[in-house]
Amino acid sequence: MNHEPRVGFVSLGCPKALVDSEQILTRLRAEGYGIAPTYPEADLVVVNTCGFIDAAVAESLDAIGEALAENGKVIVTGCLGAKGNVVRDLHPTVLAVTGPHACEEVMAAIHTHLPRPHDPFLDLVPPQGVKLTPRHYAYLKIAEGCNHRCTFCIIPQLRGDLVSRPVGEVLREAENLVRAGVRELLIVAQDTSAYGLDLRYRTGFWNGRPLKTHLTSLAAALGELGAWVRLHYVYPYPHVDELIPLMAEGRLLPYLDVPLQHASRRILKAMKRPANADDALTRIRRWREICPELTLRSTFIVGFPGETETDFEQLLEFLEAAELDRVGCFTYSPVEGAAANALPGPVPDEVKQERQARLMTLQAGISARRLRRKIGQTLKVLVDAHDEEGRAIARSSADTPEIDGVVLIEEGAVLPVGEFAEVRIVDADEHDLYAEMIAAKGDQPGIVHKRRRR
Ligand code: SF4
What is the distance between the alpha carbons of residues 74 and 143, in angstroms, rounded to a whole number?
Answer: 28
pTM: 0.76
pLDDT tens digit sequence for 418-442: 999 999 999 999 899 999 998 554 4
- Ligand 1 atom closest to Cα of 154? 8
Q: What is the pLDDT of residue 2?
A: 54
Query: Cα(219)–Cα(324) distance, rounded to whole angstroms?
Result: 23
Work out which ligand 1 atom sits closest to the CA atom of 149: 7
Nearest C-alpha neighbor of 192 from the set 46, 16, 51, 340: 16
The rounded Å distance from CA 151 to ligand 1 centre is 9
Dist. CA 152 → ligand 1 center (Å): 8
User: 3-state DSSP call for residue 329?
Assistant: strand
Q: What angle do CA 67, 70, 76 make, to 5 degrees?
A: 20
DSSP 175-210: HHHHHTT--EEEEE-SSGGGTTGGGTT-EEEETTEE
How far, rounded to the nearest angstrom, does the alpha carbon of residue 259 sit from its chain's CA centroid? 12
Do 182 and 227 contact (CB within 8 A), yes or no?
A: yes
Residue 131 pLDDT: 65
Cβ of residue 154 lying under 6 Å from some atom of ligand 1:
no
- Quick one: which atom of ligand 1 is closest to the CA of 274? 1
Percent of the chain, pLDDT > 90?
A: 68
Is 150 close to ligand 1, i.e. is its CB under 6 Å away?
A: yes
One-letter amino acid identity for 438? I
Angstrom distance (rounded) from CA 359 to CA 353: 10
Centre of ligand 1 from the C-alpha of residue 195, in Å = 14
CB 438 within 8 A of CB 380: no
Helix ranges, 304-405 (H)? 309-322, 349-372
Which atom in ligand 1 lies closest to the alpha carbon of residue 159? 5
Residue 246 alpha carbon to ligand 1 centre in Å: 26
Mutate to test the pocket of ligand 1, among 147, 150, 267, 333 (most ligand atoms within 8 A of CB): 150
The residue contributing the CA closest to ligand 1 atom 2 is 150
Pinpoint the alpha helices (H) of 347-448: 349-372
Q: Is the CB of 189 under 6 A from ligand 1?
A: no
Is there a contact between 305 and 343 (Cβ–Cβ < 8 Å)?
yes
Does 443 score more than 60 pLDDT?
Answer: no
Is any ligand 1 atom within 6 A of the Cβ of residue 153? yes
Ligand 1 atom closest to 233 (CA) = 4
Of 282, 281, 354, nearest to 319 by C-alpha is 281
Which of 376, 383, 386, 387 has the alpha carbon at shortest distance from 435?
A: 376
Q: How many CB atoms lie within 10 A of CB 381?
A: 27
What is the C-alpha separation between 271 and 145, in angstroms, rounded? Answer: 18
Q: What is the Å distance from ligand 1's center to 283 Cα?
A: 21
> How many Å lie between the centroid of ligand 1 and the Cα of residue 259?
10
Q: Whose CA is nearest to atom 8 of ligand 1?
A: 153
Averaged pLDDT for residues 154-169: 91
| Any atom of ligand 1 within 6 Å of the Cβ of 146 | yes
Residue 80 three-state SS: helix
Least confident segment among 64-73, 331-340, 384-393: 331-340
Q: Residues for the chain: how many in total? A: 454
What is the predicted pLDDT for the residue at 32? Answer: 81
The pLDDT-based confidence of 407 (bands split at 50, 70, 90) is very high
> What is d(CA 35, CA 46) in angstroms, rounded to the nearest whole number?
11
CA of 146 to the centre of ligand 1 (A): 6
> Among the listed ranges 63-67, 157-161, 328-332, which one has the minimum average pLDDT value?
157-161
How far is the centre of ligand 1, averaged over its atoms, from the C-alpha of 190 (Å)? Answer: 6
Residue 328 confidence (pLDDT) above 60: yes
How far, in Å, is the centroid of ligand 1 from the Cα of 241?
21
Q: How many angstroms separate the alpha carbon of residue 230 from the centre of ligand 1?
A: 20
Choose one of 101, 161, 191 to mutate for the ligand 1 pocket test, by most ligand atoms within 8 angstroms of C-beta.
Answer: 191
Most confident residue range from 75-84, 309-318, 333-342:
309-318
Q: Could you tell me the distance, in angstroms and rounded to a whole number, from the CA of residue 179 to the centre of ligand 1?
A: 33
The pLDDT of residue 439 is 57
The whole-number pLDDT of residue 451 equals 35
Dump pLDDT digits (tens) for 50-88.
887 788 888 999 999 999 999 999 999 998 888 768 898
Q: What is the pLDDT of residues 104-123, one digit of tens each?
A: 788 888 988 888 776 555 55
Q: What is the CA(317)–ligand 1 centre distance, in A?
A: 24
Contact 314, 261 (CB under 8 A): no
The protein residue whose alpha carbon is closest to atom 4 in ligand 1 is 190
Tell me if 148 CB under 6 Å of ligand 1.
yes
Q: Which amino acid is at 6?
A: R
